Structure 1
Amino acid sequence: MLGKIARAVFGTPNDRKIKATRPTVAKINALEEEFAALSDEGIKAKTEEFKKRVAEGEKLDAILPEAFANCREAAKRALGLRAFDTQLMGGMFLHQGNISEMKTGEGKTLVATFPAYLNALTGKGVHIVTVNDYLARRDAEWMGNVFEALGMTTGVIYPQQPDDEKRAAYVCDVTYATNNELGFDYLRDNMKSDLKDMSQRGHNFAIVDEVDSILIDEARTPLIISGPSEDRSEMYVTVDGLIPELREEHFTIDEKARSATFTEEGNEFLDELVHAKGLLPEEQSLYDAESTTLVHHLNQGLRAHKLFNRDKDYIVRDGEVVLIDEFTGRMMAGRRLSDGLHQAIEAKEGCKTQPENVTLASVTFQNYFRLYNVLSGMTGTALTEADEFEEIYGLGVVEVPTNKPIARIDEHDAVYRTGVEKFNAIVEEIQKANEKGQPILVGTTSIEKSEFLSDLLNKAKVKHDVLNARQHEREAQIVADAGKLGAVTIATNMAGRGTDIKLGGNVEFKIMEAIEANPDADPAEIRTQVEEAHKSDEQAVKDAGGLFVLATERHESRRIDNQLRGRSGRQGDPGRSSFFLSLEDDLMRIFGSERLEKVLSTLGMKEGEAIVHPWVNKSLERAQAKVEGRNFDIRKQLLKFDDVMNDQRKAIFGQRMEIMETEDLSEIVGDMRHQMIDDMVDGYMPPKSYADQWDTQGLHDGVVENLSMDLPVIDWAGEEGVDDDVIRERLYDASDEMMAKKAVDFGPENMRSIEKQILLQTIDTKWREHLLTLDHLRSVVGFRGYAQRDPLSEYKNEAFQLFESLLDGLRLDVTKRLSQIRPMTEEEQAAMMQQMVQQQQANMAAADASEQAQAAADGGFDENNPATWGNPSRNDACPCGSGKKFKHCHGKI
């Protein structure tokens, strides 16, 4: 009660933040006339003036009102859009390093240009992060007009981009990219061996669009660059044949934790089964250490069959298992589940199983985005996860008011006893709304359910569109039509992502269609006619009640529900939203409170009747909050483990950078060599030991093996008054002399280059081996909990010891490799020259073939003639029309 009174008097913390921006907004508005009077060149001149002032030490906050006024004027001229005051507020909060929560249709894409422009004045670059490649390209092209009008450059990053084009895009003032490409480029850069080959130029300021999707939903899975390992695909197929023989008592499924485990009875049954099938020798059991690989395959086979469902978690397309993003319903082409799980699903579906991969480099989104000096984000739904944003990223969430009041009516949830009753009621509700012409957006949680509902609507003779991972090519068109009078659209977790649903339909799409239909007509005339007709269409939809969002289920996350609901009622439009649920829904079944069931049974539900009550909403929100809390704990735990690796990653990547930036590494490799000699001497001649306890033969052999020098170590040790320090010094001197001679033989410049390449190659090899070891450690360390030991502490301690041994091994390997190199003999040089000539001839032949192919291509494409195909990318569809990727078909190496 007291809290309510205090809020009424003083306002909420959010209200106070909004209020604090109003004087700055007033300043920007006061400058509008002054900037409107500038010529186009005058706007660009202002940018140069601001850059100069920033370079001279003026703070960005001091320039903010003028910069925002300049950007508003540029956008007005380039796009015909004048930013609202609320959009300026959103831009200010982004500049401060917050998340601006802005409802759908409030123009977030334009909002990002203001802080991006201001922060790009430092010359350090700004990254604007989007959820998919289509949006990155669209926004870069669209908002690039604004930045061009301001005299700034815009770049876009996309998959399979040529390296020189990618480097040019990162040098731009503002760069649009997806979170995946940014993360992968960071990892790729730290695998390069020359500074000029690196793409990114640091991490200054980032604006993350759909920030909740990127920093929370996708943060459960780390980004991994991997390489192929040994092929064990046959084993997956064999194991897949065993899983159907299991009975219910052989395993347990925990839907909350999404885990599947064998029971004791199941393990005994499998032990007999694998022996009967000849998968294990008679004397070996499943419990033996040698059976670890087989047990791993069995576990993944069980998970593939019992936890992953076709058309919900993945679809099979062109003989490939393609994952579906549970939050957006989109296909994630190219993404694969790790640890052999993807192969197990491929075996289950009878697809070709691809070889497993080993990790070459990895990073979590949390740790990648924490590299930025300033991180900010925008979304329509972030408040429910405000604690996580604050704790993990140090990001505050500010709810920015809408430009016009929300006129949407949000109804209480309707809960039915069974799924059948619920879907019957949904069809009835759709028919009712459809009869008056109200456009309806129906949200489902899986492809299977969207297709089930589609069948019901077909039987009821209701015309509709289905939008899910199968129809992703038509996504923009379906969304553009979803606001038309009488439109019924079924969408799987992806309503309107990146494209607003506008009442009466999307006018730009209508204009494009009209121009295509009448290519000879005047485009300006067509635009005028379509815009006029659109006004009456829009009014008709408003009269019918605006967009009706009907959700068929509650999602685990309140954010996803709010995203769907937010598609209706944009920019003060009328609208309505309603959620239809049943006691058989996953959320109700797994997480629904017992109290809710008691309430429903007390009220006594009749068949086909729904319970609609605020208590039901409250109870469901508590269930959702519980799930969100559990998911937060999972991500937090992932991050704690990754933080251990992250410190080591930073040390290794920092060391690589230092090596690439340093011209002369002779001192570093000299220190490594001396350290390695110290380790050898300490090992064979322990400190404070007597001469008769020394292993001089072992030391001699170690020097031969690791330094490639046959020195009289045994004789030295027999001399009067010689101790370990004297031998140490003699080894230093001998090895320094040997390396100095090599530098003369190779030439100082060549020697420096050799040292750099060997250092980088060895670091990369050691780091890859270390990542594999940490992966294995991570997979077993959880069992330490049974011994009353904290798995995280155990992981930290062992990871630290492993890192120390990595550094020891690094010194040894670098010293050994440098000691073994020698200049080539004349015969070897002649052989190498011969090889180079042959390679050059092969390259020329390839170039000729390419020219012929180009000439043939100019004469027309023929899918039966590879000479007419040009130069397809390895990940493109094969031009022969097989449906396979080029690299798996005609491009197979």
Structure 2
Amino acid sequence: MVFSKILRAGEGKLVRRLSRIADAVESIADDYTDLTDAELRAKTDEFKERHADGESLDALLPEAFAVVREAATRTLGQRHFRVQLMGGAALHLGNIAEMRTGEGKTLTGVLPAYLNALTGKGVHVVTVNDYLAKRDAEWMGRVHRFLGLSVGTILSGQTPAERREHYAADITYGTNNEFGFDYLRDNMAWSKADLVQRGHHYAIVDEVDSILIDEARTPLIISGPAETAGKWYLEFARIVPMMKRDVHYEVEEAKRTVAVTEEGVEFVEDQLGIDNLYEAVNTPLIGYLNNALKAKELFKKDQQYIVSNGEVLIVDEFTGRVLAGRRYNEGMHQAIEAKEKVKIKDENQTLATITLQNYFRLYEKLSGMTGTAQTEAAELHQTYKLGVVPIPTNRPMVRQDRSDVIYKTEQAKFEAVVEDIAERHEVGQPVLVGTASVEKSELLAKFLLKRGIPHEVLNAKNHAREATIIAQAGRPGAVTVATNMAGRGTDIQLGGSADFIADETLRARGLSPSETPEEYEAAWDEALEVAKAQVKAEHEAVTEAGGLYVLGTERHESRRIDNQLRGRSGRQGDPGESRFYLSLGDDLMRRFNGPMLESMMNTLRVPDDQPIESKMVTRAILSAQTQVEQQNHEVRKDVLKYDEVLNRQRTVIYDERRKVLDGADLHEQVRTMVDDVVAAYVDGATETGYAEDWDLEQLWTGLKALYPVGPTIDELVDQVAGGEQTDLTPGSLKQALLDDVHRAYADREAKLGAEVMRELERRVLLSVMDRKWREHLYEMDYLRAGIHLRAMANRDPVVEYQREGYDMFVAMLDGIKEESVGFLFNLEVKTKDEQEAEAKAKQAEAEAKALAAAQEGTAKVLARQAAAAKAAGGTTAPAPAPATTPAPATARRTKPAAAPAAPAAPVAAEPAPSGTGPELAVKGLDQPRPPENLTYSAPSLDASAADGGRAKAAKTATVSGTKETPRNAPCPCGSGKKYKQCHGGAGAN
């Protein structure tokens, strides 16, 4: 609380500074109104030149903002208000601009995006979903393109080539998850040509509190299939329904935890037929049990998830959207699938991960926009060093926020809600109803249907029509039931949205701002005028009816989410009203102060249908929300503290990896690795005892597995110590072996060639680093899962995690060195010419075998025909010699002989990481994982999986690759059959 007051102490000074900046912009605005479009566009080149000559962006700001303001007036018909100029300046200065709903945050973001794009380093505008990213890129992109800047959009399902092109644009729109996953994928790439991002210069985050606060509890994770024992999920899904709450286990809903009692342990042991659940051999079963109990008590269908087409799909608790690409980690998703009796998918192993906090801290400059950030100002400053600046509203707020009313039962609450909606609907007042879950929205929809009130439902099952529903929610008499309006990002305007109506009209005529920009711009003004006339008439009718009425059916655990719902009404000085209807059965009330209030209402004998309004109720709700907010804040702090350890390690690995991809000369680094490994072997063998006690045989055994050791033990002792082992010293032994390993490495390089050796060094380092990092992430996950138990020994779990994590990281780095050296000396390497010669030889061998099989088949057919003719009493012609031409049609129609399996071959390698090295095939080295085998886990993911389009691209490559395959060659699919008998045959799919 004190910290928040300190942070707000300088607000007035900053707002006055922003006001002066707005004055400067407005003072020169008239200088640009008389410029032609071409002259206005030329200002962009002028600004770029001035910045390149040393003029700062702060100095260019007034002129740049004035140019953007004029361009927006000409292209969109919208001129930035003074408060939007202040908001744009706040964003440029690296702050969070708190602007009320309807104040035009999207248009405000155009100002700093244009200014910072003048550097040529790229600007990322981050939104909460694909729809908003695409909409904003098209809508605001009209201003940027008018001024000569390029605009890109990162959407799920795009190929790497498409992403690379969009990242190369001056301004790139996309979702937080797409930006984060592209960063992780770039750090899994095997070729510099596969990289898509070009740095992290400046980001503007829309709905910043939703992305940086609400979604910060869950990290971004890319994972691949791991071994799993699916039967145990089914077994515990059978046992857990028989277990009784408060008898076999206890649940603490506020903390979302379950704990098995002694009686519960005995029950499970009886069901499994084991003596001790906590024996070492049985400890993995405890995780299955806990997940099954959580699936039963804490994860409710149609609240936390829905089941659609045999799949368990997570519902975002903050936005109500389905997160189709996301899965719970650590077996939780599999436990829910077992509970719902749908197919259980494999568990995954983490391949790459980062929290949103650490991803956004990569940016040189960060800013954000939202309507509700003040309650989280302290956390935003502590975590991201971002200040929150409240921007004044353009017009005074006149919305009336009514007191909450609380009912004893949920049934009574919903009956009162429907009655209130009916009264508002009759007078033509639009109503927006906010519900907490899919289940509640559908329940209310049934009530409304029963009363005959027309309405639209917007929830996780109906998100496809989201924009249309929201855009029409302010029209006369409209009733919209929405699951959690947080982060919807679409403005509700009284009478409807003229821009939306005009856009829909033009799209219906086949025009698009991205595909047919010239025709779209030419038709825009006329379509907009028609839409404005329609909206104006309806706006007046709705205003007379009282404006938009926001009705909340349940308090959210965060005050910000409630404020966001309320903020949908009363935009730009419009009239409006809001009220929350509550019941003692609501989740928030039940988890915290519900029992106390219920006792009071029973004492006062309040009827079920009698609402109460009192300050005590308001205080109880505020107390409950504060408790949850504090708990969530602690969770986020906890996540950040632990990820900070991994973040430092990730930075080291990713920096080293990028050097390899960038084609740095690794020869000296590899030589140091070789020296370190051999020295470590010698140190391990000579660290104790006298020289005669050293086990040189064991040392030589280890070294021979590492590289081809030249001298024998006796030869080396003769050479270094005159034949007496007792005269050996660790230093002399080490130096002799280092000289020997340098000789062996030089021989290896002479045999392969310097160019091939450099490429092999790059390939080996990438492969080993990736594999050891994956293993390290698994071990860190395992350490993290049990580290809290250290508190029982009065040890700080975070300190213990830091200490052990560091030790594991050092061990991983040593492992990278040792494995890399072993691979460099021992891998079988083939150049491109050798691969082609081997492939031709194999193809000739396969064709010869196929021809022999066909000839044998022909001979057998002819022999059977001759025998049949003889048995029929006819004369028989002598059998011809084996044919040297393809078998006749009769033979080809018989069942073909099985094609020989393709012999084992070195693994085909990807192109050189640097993009310039020779093509090699390296047997025994890890290759990049197929993109279709990867899973993406994130706080909020749109319906299509965020695979970056890699799976789609991979499938396309497979199909196109077969077009060049000879008919008699082995099929590229790996089946072992000929291409013509497999994917090259008629009708092959």
- TM-score of the pair, normalised by structure 1: 0.89
Does the Cα contact within 8 Å between 2:94 and 2:365 map onto a contact in 1?
yes
One-letter amino acid matched to 1:814 = S
CA deviations on 1:41-62 (whole Å, 9 max, x unpaired) are: 2223221221122222222111
Distance 1:739 1:21, change over 3 A: same
**1:357 aligned to which of 348, 351, 369:** 348
* Aligned mates of 1:13, 1:606 — CA distance in 2: 51
Deviation of 1:597 after TM superposition, in Å, equals: 6.4
Q: Which residue of 2 aligns with 1:646?
A: 647
The 3-state SS of whatever aligns with 1:327 is coil
Q: Which residue of 1 aligns with 2:693?
A: 693
Is 1:674 matched with 2:675?
yes
Q: Which residue of 1 aligns with 2:896?
A: none
Instruction: State the structure with bigger RCO (CA 8 A, min sep 6), 1 or 2.
Output: 2
* Aligned mates of 1:46, 1:678 — CA distance in 2: 63
Deviation of 1:515 after TM superposition, in Å, equals: 7.4
Q: Which residue of 1 aligns with 2:915?
A: none
**1:497 aligned to which of 483, 488, 491:** 488
Matches within 5 A, 1:855-870: none
* Aligned mates of 1:578, 1:437 — CA distance in 2: 18
**2:825 aligned to which of 810, 819, 823:** 819
**2:260 aligned to which of 254, 259, 262:** 262
Q: Which residue of 1 aligns with 2:793?
A: 787
Does the Cα contact within 8 Å between 1:416 and 1:611 map onto a contact in 2?
yes
Distance 1:35 1:595, change over 3 A: farther
Distance 1:148 1:451, change over 3 A: same
**1:487 aligned to which of 478, 481, 491:** 478
* Aligned mates of 1:376, 1:239 — CA distance in 2: 47
Q: Which residue of 2 aligns with 1:180?
A: 177
* Aligned mates of 1:203, 1:196 — CA distance in 2: 18
Distance 1:475 1:873, change over 3 A: farther
Does the Cα contact within 8 Å between 2:32 and 2:67 map onto a contact in 1?
yes
Q: Which residue of 1 aligns with 2:572?
A: 571
**2:164 aligned to which of 167, 171, 174:** 167
One-letter amino acid matched to 1:440 = V
**1:808 aligned to which of 801, 814, 826:** 814
Does the Cα contact within 8 Å between 1:716 and 1:722 map onto a contact in 2?
no
Deviation of 1:489 after TM superposition, in Å, equals: 1.1
Is 1:742 matched with 2:742?
no
One-letter amino acid matched to 1:61 = D
**1:238 aligned to which of 225, 235, 238:** 235
One-letter amino acid matched to 2:390 = E
* Aligned mates of 1:477, 1:584 — CA distance in 2: 33
Q: Which residue of 1 aligns with 2:301?
A: 310
Q: Which residue of 2 aligns with 1:731?
A: 737
Q: Which residue of 1 aligns with 2:937?
A: none
One-letter amino acid matched to 2:822 = K
Does the Cα contact within 8 Å between 1:383 and 1:397 map onto a contact in 2?
yes
Deviation of 1:773 after TM superposition, in Å, equals: 0.3
Deviation of 1:837 after TM superposition, in Å, equals: 9.3
Worse-superposed segment, 830-839 or 546-555: 830-839
Q: Which residue of 2 aligns with 1:110?
A: 107
The 3-state SS of whatever aligns with 1:135 is helix
Q: Which residue of 1 aligns with 2:409?
A: 418
CA deviations on 1:802-845 (whole Å, 9 max, x unpaired) are: 011101111110111111135559998743454699999x9xxx
Does the Cα contact within 8 Å between 2:318 and 2:486 map onto a contact in 1?
no
The 3-state SS of whatever aligns with 1:611 is coil
Deviation of 1:583 after TM superposition, in Å, equals: 2.0
* Aligned mates of 2:695, 2:375 — CA distance in 1: 66
Does the Cα contact within 8 Å between 2:159 and 2:952 map onto a contact in 1?
no
Q: Percent identity?
A: 47
The 3-state SS of whatever aligns with 1:497 is coil
* Aligned mates of 2:634, 2:62 — CA distance in 1: 41
CA deviations on 1:496-540 (whole Å, 9 max, x unpaired) are: 812211112233454567779999xx9987765543233221101
Does the Cα contact within 8 Å between 1:496 and 1:567 map onto a contact in 2?
no
The 3-state SS of whatever aligns with 2:475 is coil
Q: Which residue of 2 aligns with 1:247?
A: 244
Deviation of 1:74 after TM superposition, in Å, equals: 1.5
One-letter amino acid matched to 2:353 = S
Q: Which residue of 1 aligns with 2:464?
A: 473
* Aligned mates of 1:15, 1:411 — CA distance in 2: 30
Number of residue pairs the alignment of both structures matches: 833
* Aligned mates of 2:674, 2:300 — CA distance in 1: 56
Q: Which residue of 1 aligns with 2:934?
A: none
* Aligned mates of 1:95, 1:528 — CA distance in 2: 34
Is 1:137 matched with 2:143?
no
**1:447 aligned to which of 414, 417, 438:** 438
Deviation of 1:604 after TM superposition, in Å, equals: 6.2
Deviation of 1:184 after TM superposition, in Å, equals: 0.6
* Aligned mates of 2:13, 2:444 — CA distance in 1: 46
Distance 1:836 1:126, change over 3 A: farther
Distance 1:775 1:524, change over 3 A: closer
Deviation of 1:733 after TM superposition, in Å, equals: 1.2
Unmatched 5+ stretches in structure 2: 511-522, 848-901, 903-950, 957-982
* Aligned mates of 1:165, 1:496 — CA distance in 2: 27
Does the Cα contact within 8 Å between 2:492 and 2:568 map onto a contact in 1?
yes
Q: Which residue of 1 aligns with 2:708?
A: 708
* Aligned mates of 1:835, 1:116 — CA distance in 2: 58
Distance 1:490 1:270, change over 3 A: same
Deviation of 1:162 after TM superposition, in Å, equals: 1.5
Does the Cα contact within 8 Å between 1:450 and 1:490 map onto a contact in 2?
yes
- TM-score of the pair, normalised by structure 2: 0.80
Is 1:831 matched with 2:828?
no
Distance 1:511 1:683, change over 3 A: closer
Worse-superposed segment, 711-720 or 424-433: 711-720
**1:391 aligned to which of 362, 379, 382:** 382
Is 1:438 matched with 2:429?
yes
* Aligned mates of 2:155, 2:508 — CA distance in 1: 32
* Aligned mates of 1:255, 1:122 — CA distance in 2: 50
The 3-state SS of whatever aligns with 2:546 is coil
* Aligned mates of 1:54, 1:251 — CA distance in 2: 66
CA deviations on 1:212-245 (whole Å, 9 max, x unpaired) are: 1111111111111101112433332232111112
One-letter amino acid matched to 1:712 = T
The 3-state SS of whatever aligns with 2:825 is helix
**2:313 aligned to which of 290, 309, 322:** 322
Deviation of 1:607 after TM superposition, in Å, equals: 3.7
Distance 1:664 1:13, change over 3 A: closer
Distance 1:70 1:134, change over 3 A: same
* Aligned mates of 1:650, 1:416 — CA distance in 2: 54
* Aligned mates of 1:838, 1:516 — CA distance in 2: 59
Worse-superposed segment, 800-809 or 448-457: 448-457
CA deviations on 1:22-56 (whole Å, 9 max, x unpaired) are: 12111101111112222222223221221122222
Deviation of 1:467 after TM superposition, in Å, equals: 1.1
One-letter amino acid matched to 1:373 = E
One-letter amino acid matched to 1:574 = P
Q: Which residue of 1 aligns with 2:86?
A: 89
Distance 1:401 1:835, change over 3 A: farther
One-letter amino acid matched to 1:38 = L
CA deviations on 1:516-567 (whole Å, 9 max, x unpaired) are: 9999xx9987765543233221101100000000101110000110110000
* Aligned mates of 1:711, 1:316 — CA distance in 2: 67
Which structure has the larger Rg?
A: 2
Deviation of 1:615 after TM superposition, in Å, equals: 4.3
The 3-state SS of whatever aligns with 1:112 is helix
* Aligned mates of 2:74, 2:472 — CA distance in 1: 29
